[in-house]
Chain A
Amino acid sequence: MEYAPIKKDVSATNKLANMVNYHQSYDDFNWHEAQQLIKGYKNGINMAYEAVDRHVEEGYGDQTALIFLEKKQQRKVFSYAQLQQTSNRFANLLKSLKVDKGHLLCSLTDRSPILYTAVIGCLKSGVVFSPLFSAFGPEPIKSRMKIGGATVLLTSGKLYKKKVATWRHEYLALKTVLLYDCDGECPSDCIDLDHVLVQQSDQFTICETAAQDTALIHFTSGTTGKPKGVVHVHEAVIYHKYSGYYALDIHPQDVFWCTADPGWVTGISYGVISPLCNRATLVVDNAEFDAIRWYNILEKENVNIWYTAPTAIRMLMKAGNLLSLNYDLSHLRFLASVGEPLNPEAVIWSQKYLGKVFHDNWWQTETGGIMLANFISENVKPGSMGQPLPGIKAGIVEVDDQGHLTEVTASNKTGELAFKKGWPSMFRDYLHETKRYQDCFNDDWYLSGDLAYKDDDGYFWFVGRRSDLIKSAGHLIGPFEIESVLIEHPAVVEAGVIGVPDPIAGELVKAFVSLNDGYKADAALSKSIMAHARKKLGPALAPREICIKQNLPKTRSGKIMRRLLKARELGLPEGDISTLESDETT
C-alpha cells in the first residue's frame, strides 16, 4: 500500500527550526561552517569539553543537564556544573589508578548517573570508553572486553556478581573493577566507587586530545566471526553536534528524551554526546518500557524532542490508540525514530494519536551519526528513511563480480546504500581487523551493507540487508555469535540462526539445531538448549525459539545455509541452491 506524503509547515512550529529549507541547506553546505559549531580544545578536539565544560565556561553551569527518573519515581537533577564536577572526580580517580590516555574502560550499567559521569570523565582524560548492554549474558560481555583489551570495568555490584565474577580472573588484562551500588559488600578485588569517588577533587585539567585520537569503541555484530569493535575518534563530536542540530532540531534548553539504552551506540551518540553538545536538558529513565510511564514522562517533564525506536512505538500502539489522549503532549515539538525501518502505519498512527508525526532516520554504528533523515522542514514520506544530511553524499551503488563499483542513477532501482567517505564521525577502523575495515570501502564509497533505492524526490527506502544479520528490537544481532554458543551445548552438533518477522520486535531470533548421536528431540531438550543459550548470551541475544532438525542444509564446504533456512521458514522461493550439498531433514 502506498501512503501519501505528510505535508509539513515548518512555520507552524513554535520555535524557528534549525533547518528551514532542506534544499538550500544542502546546496549551501560546507564542512568549515559545521566545524564552527564546536569550539575545539587547545590544539585539538575533546568530546567531553564540547559536551559539558564548554557550557560551564560560557556561563550555563546552572542549566539542568540531566534529569534521572528512577524506577520507583525518585527524580534526581544534575546541572552542567555538577556534571562537570562529578566527571572531574571520575577523571581524577582514573588518573590515581594509573588508567591513562588510550586505555579502554568498558561500562556495564543501567541508566544511572554514574554512567554519564563515567562517559564524560573518560573522554576528558583521554581514556577510551566502550559501553556494553546490561542485558548481555556473560559470554558477549567477556568476548567484547577481550577484543577491546579493556583494562577497566565499571559495573554495579549486582551485575558484577551475576555476569562477571565467575570469569573475571580468566581475563588477566582486566586490572580494575569499579563497582557502584554494592551496598557495603564490595568484593576485595574490586573498588567501591561510591566510597572513593567523593574523595577525589572536582578540579581536573582536560587531556589535550587530538582530533584523530580514539574516543569511543562501539561493538557491533558481524555475520561471520566475532563482534567488531568500531573505532570512533574525538573529531566525531563535530558530526554528533551538527546532526543533532539539523536532523533532530535540538535547540539549547530543549528537553530531550532519547529512549535508547546507553549500552548501544544510539544511547551514547544521541543519548549523551549530541544533546549535551547542543546544550539540551536530557531525560534519562531507568526503567523498562511501560506505556503509561512513558506518556507520564512526556507530559510531566515537558519533553520537546523524543527520539525512540520502532519496537517501542509499536508497543505504544499495542497499548491502545486512546491512551495517549489522556496526556498533555503539547510540549512535543519533534519526534524521531531509529533502529530499524519504521513501518508507515506507525508514522500515520503517531500523526493521528500523538498529534505529531514520527520522523524516521537511518544510520549505523559505523557511520557514528545520522546519515539519512526525515527533516522537520520537509514532507514526511511514511516508510521512507528520508534524505541525506547536508554534507552527506548518499547513493545507491552496484558492485560487479570483478569488484567494480557503479552508482545507480536511475530512480527506484535497488542497490546497496553507500556514502562518499570523509564525514567526521565515520569510523576509523575495526579494532585489530583493518582488512575487514578496508573491505567496507570501494573507491571513495563506504558500503553500508543495506539494500535500498532512491525515489524521484531523492528519498531513500530500505529494502533489506545484504547479510544474514538480524535486527531484533532495534539491536543488530550476528548469527555466528549465537550459533557458537549453541554448539557448546553437549546435545548440539550444528546450529543455524535466522531472524523471523515479528509484529512488535521487527524480527525475533530463531535457531535451528541438529543433535549429536544419542540425543532425542523433545520439549525437555529444547528447553535445556534454550536455558543454556539464555544463561550465556542473556535475553537480548538468545533465540526466542529453538527448532530441532536431524540435519541442517549445508554447502559442500560444510557452511550452514541460513538463507535457505530463512526462505523455507518464510515460505519464500529457495533461490540458487547449486551449492547445497547436504539438505535438512526433520
Chain B
Amino acid sequence: MNKKLALKTLICRLILDIAPEVDIESLDPNEDLREELDLDSIDFMKLLEAVSLETSITISESDYDKVQSLQSMVNYIENRT
C-alpha cells in the first residue's frame, strides 16, 4: 500500500513539473490522464520519460494503453518493480 502511495505521489509530482496548472487533487485516478488534465502528446511523452528516469522502469510503446490513467500507471510500475 505504501509503495502504491509513494508511486502515486511521485507521478503527481512529475505531472506538476510538466503541467503545474492542473488541479491534481481533483483528478479522478481512473480517468484518462491526457484528457482530464489537457496534456498533449509531447506532455505525455515527457511524463513517461520522467517516470522511466525516476523509477528505472521503461514503459514500452506497446504498453501505452496500460498507463492511460494515474491508477493504471501506478499499477503498471508497481508490477514491474
Chain A 289-342 residues near chain B, CB threshold 8 A? 289-293, 311, 315, 318-320, 323
Residues 519-539 of chain A: 1 if any B CB is under 8 Å from the residue's CB, otherwise 0?
000000001101110110011
Given contacts A527-B20, A528-B20, A532-B21, contact A292 B62 (CB under 8 A): yes
- Residue A508 lies at the interface, judged by CB distance under 8 Å to chain B: yes
From residue B76, how far is it (CB to closest CB) to chain A in Å? 15
The listed residue (B21, B39, B42) touching A508 by CB distance below 8 A is B42
State the CA gap A472–B42 with chains docked (Å). Answer: 10
Could you say which residues of chain A place their CB within 8 Å of the CB of B78? Answer: none
State the CA gap A184–B62 with chains docked (Å). Answer: 37
State the CA gap A432–B64 with chains docked (Å). Answer: 46
A323-B62 in contact (CB<8A): yes
- Residue A473 lies at the interface, judged by CB distance under 8 Å to chain B: yes
B61-A291 in contact (CB<8A): yes
The listed residue (B16, B38, B61) touching A538 by CB distance below 8 A is B38
From residue A70, how far is it (CB to closest CB) to chain B in Å? 13
From residue A499, how far is it (CB to closest CB) to chain B in Å? 13
The listed residue (B40, B42, B61) touching A292 by CB distance below 8 A is B61
State the CA gap A547–B28 with chains docked (Å). Answer: 32
Given contacts A531-B20, A534-B20, contact A292 B45 (CB under 8 A): no
Could you say which residues of chain B place their CB within 8 Å of the CB of A472? Answer: 42
A315-B21 in contact (CB<8A): no
State the CA gap A472–B61 with chains docked (Å). Answer: 22
A505-B62 in contact (CB<8A): no
A290-B64 in contact (CB<8A): yes
A473-B41 in contact (CB<8A): yes
Given contacts A527-B20, A531-B20, A535-B21, contact A292 B41 (CB under 8 A): no
A534-B61 in contact (CB<8A): no
The listed residue (A319, A527, A539) touching B39 by CB distance below 8 A is A539
Could you say which residues of chain A place their CB within 8 Å of the CB of B17? Answer: 527
- Residue B65 lies at the interface, judged by CB distance under 8 Å to chain A: yes
- Residue A544 lies at the interface, judged by CB distance under 8 Å to chain B: yes
State the CA gap A143–B17 with chains docked (Å). Answer: 28
B38-A323 in contact (CB<8A): no
From residue A110, how far is it (CB to closest CB) to chain B in Å? 10
- Residue A580 lies at the interface, judged by CB distance under 8 Å to chain B: no
B65-A539 in contact (CB<8A): no
Given contacts A291-B61, A534-B19, A538-B38, contact A504 B43 (CB under 8 A): no
Could you say which residues of chain B place their CB within 8 Å of the CB of A540? Answer: 40
Residues 217-251 of chain A: 1 if any B CB is under 8 Å from the residue's CB, otherwise 0?
00000000000000000000000000000000000
B21-A292 in contact (CB<8A): no
From residue A289, how far is it (CB to closest CB) to chain B in Å? 5
Chain B 31-52 residues near chain A, CB threshold 8 A? 32, 34, 38-46
From residue B17, how far is it (CB to closest CB) to chain A in Å? 8
- Residue A206 lies at the interface, judged by CB distance under 8 Å to chain B: no
- Residue A28 lies at the interface, judged by CB distance under 8 Å to chain B: no
Nearest-CB residue, chain A, relative to B34:
A288
Could you say which residues of chain A place their CB within 8 Å of the CB of B44? Answer: 288
The listed residue (A319, A508, A539) touching B19 by CB distance below 8 A is A539
With an 8 Å Cβ cutoff, the count of chain B residues facing the other chain is 20
Nearest-CB residue, chain A, relative to B17:
A527
- Residue A135 lies at the interface, judged by CB distance under 8 Å to chain B: yes
Given contacts A288-B34, A290-B64, contact A135 B20 (CB under 8 A): no
The listed residue (A135, A315, A528, A538) touching B45 by CB distance below 8 A is A315
With an 8 Å Cβ cutoff, the count of chain A residues facing the other chain is 31
From residue A125, how far is it (CB to closest CB) to chain B in Å? 32
Nearest-CB residue, chain B, relative to A505:
B42
State the CA gap A320–B62 with chains docked (Å). Answer: 10
Could you say which residues of chain B place their CB within 8 Å of the CB of A505? Answer: 42
Could you say which residues of chain B place their CB within 8 Å of the CB of A508? Answer: 42
Could you say which residues of chain A place their CB within 8 Å of the CB of B32? Answer: 71
Given contacts A527-B20, A531-B21, contact A289 B41 (CB under 8 A): yes
From residue A341, how far is it (CB to closest CB) to chain B in Å? 19
Residues 2-32 of chain B: 1 if any A CB is under 8 Å from the residue's CB, otherwise 0?
0000000000000011011100000000001
State the CA gap A535–B19 with chains docked (Å). Answer: 9
Could you say which residues of chain A place their CB within 8 Å of the CB of B38? Answer: 135, 162, 538-539
B40-A539 in contact (CB<8A): yes
State the CA gap A290–B68 with chains docked (Å). Answer: 11
From residue A488, how far is it (CB to closest CB) to chain B in Å? 14
The listed residue (A290, A320, A504, A534) touching B42 by CB distance below 8 A is A504
B61-A319 in contact (CB<8A): yes
Nearest-CB residue, chain A, relative to B21:
A531
Chain A 477-510 residues near chain B, CB threshold 8 A? 504-505, 508
State the CA gap A290–B62 with chains docked (Å). Answer: 9
State the CA gap A86–B19 with chains docked (Å). Answer: 39
Given contacts A288-B34, A290-B64, A320-B61, contact A530 B42 (CB under 8 A): no
Given contacts A530-B20, A539-B19, contact A288 B41 (CB under 8 A): yes
A473-B19 in contact (CB<8A): no
State the CA gap A530–B16 with chains docked (Å). Answer: 10
State the CA gap A288–B19 with chains docked (Å). Answer: 18
* 19 pairs from A and B in contact (CB 8 Å cutoff): A71-B32, A288-B40, A288-B44, A291-B61, A292-B61, A292-B62, A292-B65, A311-B41, A315-B41, A315-B45, A504-B42, A504-B45, A505-B42, A527-B20, A530-B20, A534-B21, A539-B39, A539-B40, A544-B46
Q: Which residues of B contact A (CB under 8 A)?
A: 16-17, 19-21, 32, 34, 38-46, 61-62, 64-65
Taking A162-B38, A527-B16 as given, write out 16 further A-B residue pairs in contact, using a Cβ cutoff of 8 Å, ordered by the A residue number: A135-B40, A292-B62, A292-B64, A311-B41, A473-B42, A504-B42, A504-B45, A530-B20, A530-B21, A531-B21, A534-B20, A534-B21, A538-B38, A539-B40, A539-B42, A544-B42
Q: Which residues of A contact B (CB under 8 A)?
A: 71, 135, 162, 288-293, 311, 315, 318-320, 323, 472-473, 504-505, 508, 527-528, 530-532, 534-535, 538-540, 544
